[in-house]
Amino acid sequence: MSFLDHSGDLSETSFTQKDLSEAKAFWLTVIQEVEPSWLKKPKGEMGRYWLDNSNQAMTYLVLLGQILHSLSKCVIESSKIG
């Protein structure tokens, strides 16, 4: 099971099911753009979290996804200015 299949318990976190769905969509888009084959055989530290079915791993990937998504929006907006 991977992060994309995880439907863990978010009740003891500040995240919602919407946050989880958005994080899954974000990660899927990024990975498919950068290295689609990674989804078949996740590697590295990210791969460890990706394949870990714990709520801790799930919340880590949701939070990291939110941070990177926010940063990418800032980069896109700042590139439009200059």
DSSP string across 6-39: -----TTSS--HHHHHHHHHHHHHHHHHH-GGGG
Q: Can you give the pLDDT at residue 27?
A: 97
Amino acid 34: pLDDT: 95
- Identify the domain containing residue 50 by its residue range: 3-81
pLDDT of amino acid 74? 75
Cα end-to-end span (Å), the chain:
43
Q: Please give the chain's pLDDT, 82 residues, in tens.
A: 899 998 888 898 999 999 999 999 999 999 999 999 999 999 999 999 999 999 999 999 999 999 999 998 776 655 665 5
d(CA 33, CA 12) in angstroms, rounded, equals 33
Structural domains counted in the chain: 1
CA of residue 35 relative to chain centroid, distance: 14
Per-residue pLDDT at 72: 84
The label of the residue with tokens 């590295």 reads 44
